[in-house]
Structure 1
Amino acid sequence: MHQEVKTLLFGMLWAAGCSAASSTSLRVDSLRLTRPFRMATPIHTDSTDVWGKPFEQDNLMMEVPVSLKQWRTGECMTDSVIPASEQGGLRLAGFQIENTMFAKYRMSVTSTTRHKTFVDGKEYRDGEERQLLPGRHDVVVKLLQKHGKSDTLTIQIETGQDKYITLNPKGKRLYTFEDYQNGLWAGGTSLSAGGRFMKYQVRRTKEGGERVTTERILDLKTGNEYIPANFVQWAAQGDRYIGWRQERQGETIYEYIDPATGQGTPLYTDALALWGRWTAQDRLMLISKKTEGPRDDPQVHQILQPDDRIAGWRDRNNVQLLDPATGLVSVLTQGQHDSYATISDDGGKILLSVRENDITERPFTFTTLLLLDRETMKADTLVRHDGFLGQCQWMPDNRHILLHGSPEALGGIGKNDPTGKTPSMIQQELFLMDTHTGEITPLTKDFDPSIINVECSHADGNLYALCENRDLQSIFRLDMKSKRWTQVKTSECFVNSFSLARDKPLLSYSGEGASSTYRIHTIDLKSGKETLIRDYNPGRMTEIELGEFGDWNFQSSRGDTICGRYYLPPHFDASRKYPMLVYYYGGCSPVGRYLDSYYNFHNWAALGYVVYVIQPSGCTGFGQEFAARHVNAYGKYTADDIIEGTKKFCAEHPYVNDKKVGCLGASYGGFMTMYLQTVTDIFAAAMAHAGISNPASYWGYGYWGYSYSAVSAADSYPWNNPELMSGRSPLFNADKVHTPILFLHGGSDTNVPIVESTQMFNALKILGRECAFVTVEGQNHHILDYEKQAKWVHTYYAWFAKYLQDDPTWWESMYPTKNLK
């Protein structure tokens, strides 16, 4: 009775205090109540506990661990009276709260019996102010009912955000940021050479941030799964893998291991602590050997080159080769330049890639390709001093090699842009070289998607490439006879990775979609038949309701089709007016059509926003000319598309409140956010994460500022193109900004230094413009720490709630006003 009187008295005082704050009282009129739990009385070995206090049965019962989730098994109760029970004992009463936006609340729980209250598993003290992040929450009351006695239970919630709150919501719940954070990643598939086994990985993140990664080998014939032992790589033939084990004497034993039996067959015993990749039908091991460069006094450091600020830049990579037949290790390269190698299948030829730095010439790093005859150790030069080449790999015929590079590679033979713009170095092309004749054939000159990675099938002789294909990631096949590209049909629109079985026409891949999480499939390359191997969607998404998603493209004033897509809130009502968020690319890659990202579009929609994702000029995957618009533009074409697209989307969709539109982006997208506010006033609020405010200072100070500028500002520098560097700089145009901007930045960002946000924030403060600046300490360009990532995301959610939903509660809870001047 003392607990009841105390609670009622507090409730009266609290209610009187809340009335002035125009809070709303919500009475919980439906609960689920469990039957009493049967609990045995413990045997007391003493009359008192370790503190000398006598044991009380009620205390023991209230402290007994019980899974609070069991409230969901209870029966529905719509009366405040808890009926008497012959047995008596511990019972659980529970209900749910769903809030679409951040909310503060107080709760009053009144009962004639002893009780404790828990919200999302954490004990709640009556009347204390708590916060609810958007989502669905369990409220459970732990009750101790006396034998044969009825009790009462009433619950009231006081809140100023009742418009966001639903008690005991029906149906599926909304998608939250925690669903992403505490989610699952699946992929990394690789097939054995014979195609019977597939290795894959699953990574789960627990609440709190602990990550657990499991690696499995699946027998595609029987469905059995095995745990690989120290997996190195698949054997070149058959269905075994190469693994290793350590002997007591320190030797490393490499073995061929049968996944099904775990039995090993010796391959090589290494007593030299070597580590590398088996190649040339497992007859050779290619070893990368790091040579440490000279070190300075740790207290003073002379910067030799711009990249000398980066840890490890002075070290050099050289190549060695182990022949297990003789046990001899050959040193293939030595010198001041990094070198890498790939070996032909027959082991006779070695392709050496030698990297040279030249700070006086764009793009500042150059590649020379050498063809080394392993028997004679004679090297011929295939390509000299090319700054636009990437990786290279052998074809199965031991004669041709595949070269990756931008359109400017190899003298520009792959360029296909009639406008003559400088191509984007991020748009990746493929070339085929005949090492006998030196002839080079561009394979993607008339192919718009951008190459990510490629494999050649030994089974059918064709190339298979994972590509940026507009806002998709798709697999394409190149018929090596007709040189014709065709898309491989896949169920998932965004393929994360794929693998080929070396000697069987079989492909495996993992992928996701805009509204679905990871799945793993195999595809028979002869018939095209796809088989679903693992589906993680039901486990993650069955209880979640997502809003409508769809494509929305428009014809720009330049005559282009600018692609985009939209996301609508769940339970969308076309008669309402919704605020909108606009998002666009950072770097140069398009914004992919995937579900899992810390820029989570379905989560934004669940918060009550219409979301418009646009693919403006300058991103890769749409062809060379489209990608080249990023170069020497710094916002020119991209901003035009974003502004025009936003205006047209609002005009065609009357459910968007065009006075409540926000925009956000990161890195180059952060620059774009700042730049947009200097040329338009259509946005009511903006967020720039790790954005560039002054191209000249970023060029000179960012770890990769000068090298990224070789992409975005080819051959342009502060001294020869001040109009680009300052004329399109948000900092130099800060006086034109009138939109409230939030600047977010990792405190340890080495890519885009924090000074880029600092100086723009300083400028707007001097100008008296509305802005805020939040640093995430200890984080680099990407905010990856679990707890800090949540606070970072909630910061910009709160910012947009303040300006687009006219509710500053979340922002003021995170960043209360400080009376400092």
Structure 2
Amino acid sequence: MGIKRTWLGLSAALLSTLTYGQTKDNALPDTLQYNDVFNIEYASSPFFGQDDETLYYVRRSMDIMSDRTLSSLWQIDLDGNAHRPFLTDKGNIYQPVLSPDGTKLAFVSDHGGSAQLYVHYMDSGLQAKLTNLQEGPSNIVWSPDSEQLAFTAFTPAQPETLFKGMPGKPEGAKWAETAKYIERTEYRSDGAGYLRDGHSQIYILPVAGGTARQLTTGDYPNSGNLSFSGDGKWIYFAGDRAENYALHPLRSDVFRVNTTSRKVEQVTTVEGPEGNPKVSPDGKYLAFTQLNDRKKSYQNSDLVIMKLPSGNMTRLTSDLDRSIGAFEWADDSRSLVFAYQDKGQTRLARTSLKGKVSKLDVTIGGQSLGRPYTSGEFALASDGTIAYTTDDPLRPADLAVADKKGKSTVLTQLNEDAFGHLNLANVESLPVKASVDDRDIDAWIAYPPNYDKNKSYPMILEIHGGPHAAYGPHFSMEIQLMAANGYVVVWSNPRGSSSYGEEFGNLIHHNYPSDDYQDLMDVVDAAVAKGNIDKDNLFITGGSGGGVLTAWSIGKTDRFSAAVVAKPVINWMSFALTADAYPYFSQYWMPGKPWEVADHLWEHSPLSLVGNVKTPTLLLTGESDYRTPISESEQFYQALRLQGVESAMVRIPGASHGIAAKPSRLIQKVGNILAWFERYRSDKRSDKSE
């Protein structure tokens, strides 16, 4: 059977590799194989013990039998010793949170078949199950006295019906399913599907046992980070408690709910959304993020503190011009440490209460396993020591600590058993100048294992999504697998990418795609100029926003031998009225409602260029994708077939927008991309006739 027929799915040879991990001559491979996806482990959710000498973290691994990620709780001393399991026999562990007095650990586990809240007593090692909820708890937080837990949980509401006169069904009769009635703006969501009636609400529960008591009500979501007041009488949270909340996707304020009376009070009234409220350890300040919303497609939020109870606010990071991530209060309440994106990296900084920002020599990451996106988590000890997940282009996240003087020590080596004996792709920076305006464009290049400078190699341009997101020199299983199969791989942050400030991000505001396409071609030119690239074997792929730019690029140039367009937007008009987040896209990505700006949307739609396309193109999308619905891929596929362009479509059953959420789907994604490229490699094209 020839390549053309075999590689539209996983071939027999690939399935053999998946099963045995050996080459055809039974020699053990020295490069990355598809089945190595199941060998990945990485660190997440670090936190310090009460004595600051022990670090706990969630260790995540891939289960080949259940095709999912498993999680257990481990501990390690700060000197790197006593690395051992802490909770590994209680099912999958999520959201571990140590009580303020250090005596108890709350966590969520699916040990009994559903996600429930448990408490572990640190002195005795005993555990108790605290809840028997129909819906799993989230956003767990301890009260200051370590006696109560607050959390959010989805609370169903009675389904709405329109027709109430349906006659009763005779006993034993088999009728069609009852019609589903929808009368809400936000009715489906990627990854969750069609939404049930109801919302997340806030609950409180005594650790000594009892029934969780619901604190909030209303036809709007009450979710996100929770934080107790210093006296434990109030819980702060952010949300939009207006009836039309769904039509205002970036509108939210900080509220607080009384733990006894359930009274809800609004705390902030600033224009633009506030989020992630956290009360300082001394109870005197409230920190939160705040965005000055100007209806731009790319906007950076600031870190803000409010003096309690006066309400006086200080903006701490206005001069930084970078996307703010997670933040933590210092134990003395005199400063905060926060994460921010900068030039394709996630870095840490410290700020005083007056807004004096000091950048720290700490880069975090390692948790975006599929593609090389920015990521990372950190924790702060009472003495100022920082624990964080490491960023390494050749390894997923390990754990490291940085002491008060800035000296970092890596504590774990979670993947040496899986990767230590393999030759991986070396990653280098690729300097690029934009031909449009001479801007610097960050790019990176990965070389195949055992790279030989005397040979030429096929090249893949991999384009990130977003479009307001950022790649960097981070570990990526997809990039590594592509390189292991003999390709040089190039990726970059064209204009519009996050982590370079608002001006750079908004170069594509209401103008996407545009010159970001030319940035990508400049990246290809820079890679080719280094030599050793086979210019007759250039390939292009990308997902989501990268799928948009892939489809746009092949409508602009024929330089690529083949393309894989993953989960794209092809027609902005249809996308605006089928995507799950349509209130956001229509207000922030478009200059007007779709029917008001139809010409503008068509001018930026890859479908408008389909008449130019000659590049063999594969469409690849999850069938349950509600962010960029599969109808977008179907439009392009059918248009290409009408044009007589060599084209095919891969549909991933059950997959949402995050196709690689399951290990086997990551394999299917990369395997099908490479199979399509292999078919059109000029140095292998004769294989098609076999």
Provide the TM-score with structure 1 as the length reference: 0.69
Alignment of 1:575-594 (within 5 A): 575-587=454-466, 588-594=468-474
User: Which of 1 and 2 has greater Rg?
Assistant: 1
Q: Does 1:693 align with 2:550?
A: no
* CA shift for structure 1 position 730: 1.3
The match for 2:7 is none
Among candidates 575, 596, 603, match of residue 720 of structure 1: 596
Q: Does 1:535 align with 2:421?
A: no
Q: Does 1:516 align with 2:395?
A: yes
Conserved 8 A contact 1:460-1:505: no
The match for 2:428 is 550
| 2:236 match: secondary structure | strand
* CA shift for structure 1 position 397: 3.5
* CA shift for structure 1 position 514: 1.0
Q: Does 1:749 align with 2:613?
A: no
Alpha-carbon distance change, 477 to 450 in structure 1, aligned in 2, over 3 angstroms: same
CA distance in 2, matches of 1:322, 1:641: 54
Among candidates 499, 513, 533, match of residue 621 of structure 1: 499
The match for 2:534 is 657
Aligned residues: 635
The match for 1:218 is 76
Among candidates 114, 121, 140, match of residue 257 of structure 1: 121
Among candidates 275, 292, 306, match of residue 156 of structure 2: 292
* CA shift for structure 1 position 476: 2.2
Alpha-carbon distance change, 370 to 243 in structure 1, aligned in 2, over 3 angstroms: closer
| 1:299 match: secondary structure | coil
Alpha-carbon distance change, 669 to 653 in structure 1, aligned in 2, over 3 angstroms: same
Amino acid at match of 2:632: E
Alpha-carbon distance change, 807 to 522 in structure 1, aligned in 2, over 3 angstroms: same
The match for 1:197 is 54
Alpha-carbon distance change, 393 to 811 in structure 1, aligned in 2, over 3 angstroms: farther
Conserved 8 A contact 1:204-1:213: yes
Alpha-carbon distance change, 669 to 226 in structure 1, aligned in 2, over 3 angstroms: closer
Alpha-carbon distance change, 812 to 544 in structure 1, aligned in 2, over 3 angstroms: farther
Alpha-carbon distance change, 489 to 745 in structure 1, aligned in 2, over 3 angstroms: closer
Q: Does 1:684 align with 2:561?
A: yes
* CA shift for structure 1 position 759: 0.8
Alpha-carbon distance change, 120 to 322 in structure 1, aligned in 2, over 3 angstroms: closer
TM-superposition CA deviations, 1:587-622 (whole Å, max 9, x none): 22112432243xx22322222222111111112111
Among candidates 441, 454, 478, match of residue 314 of structure 2: 441
TM-superposition CA deviations, 1:122-162 (whole Å, max 9, x none): 89xxxxxxxxxxx852746xxxxxxxxxxxxxxxxxxxxxx
* CA shift for structure 1 position 486: 0.8
Q: Does 1:319 align with 2:319?
A: no
Alpha-carbon distance change, 315 to 630 in structure 1, aligned in 2, over 3 angstroms: farther
CA distance in 2, matches of 1:760, 1:393: 46
The match for 1:424 is 298
Conserved 8 A contact 2:423-2:450: no
Alpha-carbon distance change, 465 to 763 in structure 1, aligned in 2, over 3 angstroms: same
CA distance in 1, matches of 2:157, 2:342: 41
* CA shift for structure 1 position 443: 2.2
Q: Percent identity?
A: 20
Structure 1 spans left out of the alignment, 5+ residues: 1-17, 22-101, 106-118, 124-134, 141-167, 246-251, 413-420, 814-821
CA distance in 2, matches of 1:465, 1:270: 33
Conserved 8 A contact 2:554-2:614: yes
Conserved 8 A contact 1:705-1:752: no
CA distance in 1, matches of 2:565, 2:324: 29
Deviates more, 1:487-496 or 1:583-592: 487-496
| 2:573 match: secondary structure | helix
Deviates more, 1:479-488 or 1:634-643: 479-488
Among candidates 358, 368, 373, match of residue 485 of structure 1: 358
Alpha-carbon distance change, 787 to 270 in structure 1, aligned in 2, over 3 angstroms: closer
Amino acid at match of 2:322: P
* CA shift for structure 1 position 491: 8.6
TM-superposition CA deviations, 1:279-329 (whole Å, max 9, x none): 223243324354322315662123213422453453123334456799897
Alignment of 1:354-433 (within 5 A): 354-356=239-241, 363-364=248-249, 366-371=251-256, 381-384=266-269, 386=271, 388-408=273-293, 422=296, 424-425=298-299, 427-433=300-306
Alignment of 1:491-502 (within 5 A): 496-501=376-381
The match for 1:707 is 584
| 2:390 match: secondary structure | strand
Alpha-carbon distance change, 207 to 809 in structure 1, aligned in 2, over 3 angstroms: farther
Conserved 8 A contact 1:187-1:202: yes
CA distance in 1, matches of 2:108, 2:252: 34
* CA shift for structure 1 position 190: 1.7
CA distance in 2, matches of 1:619, 1:499: 27
Alpha-carbon distance change, 736 to 357 in structure 1, aligned in 2, over 3 angstroms: farther
CA distance in 1, matches of 2:425, 2:130: 58
* CA shift for structure 1 position 696: 1.1
The match for 2:439 is 560
Structure 2 spans left out of the alignment, 5+ residues: 3-9, 110-115, 162-176, 367-373
Among candidates 777, 787, 797, match of residue 674 of structure 2: 797
| 2:628 match: secondary structure | coil
Q: Is the strand fraction higher in 1 or 2?
A: 1
CA distance in 2, matches of 1:781, 1:243: 28
Among candidates 329, 336, 344, match of residue 219 of structure 2: 336
CA distance in 1, matches of 2:333, 2:487: 49
The match for 2:479 is 601
The match for 2:615 is 739
Conserved 8 A contact 1:496-1:510: yes
* CA shift for structure 1 position 469: 2.4
| 2:252 match: secondary structure | strand
CA distance in 2, matches of 1:405, 1:640: 34
- CA RMSD, 1 decimal: 3.9
Amino acid at match of 1:538: E
Among candidates 298, 303, 307, match of residue 186 of structure 2: 307
* CA shift for structure 1 position 278: 2.3
Conserved 8 A contact 1:689-1:745: yes
Amino acid at match of 1:179: D
Provide the TM-score with structure 2 as the length reference: 0.81
| 1:178 match: secondary structure | helix
| Larger relative contact order (Cα-Cα within 8 Å, sequence gap ≥ 6) | 2
The match for 1:573 is 452
CA distance in 1, matches of 2:380, 2:520: 39
| 2:251 match: secondary structure | strand
Amino acid at match of 2:266: T
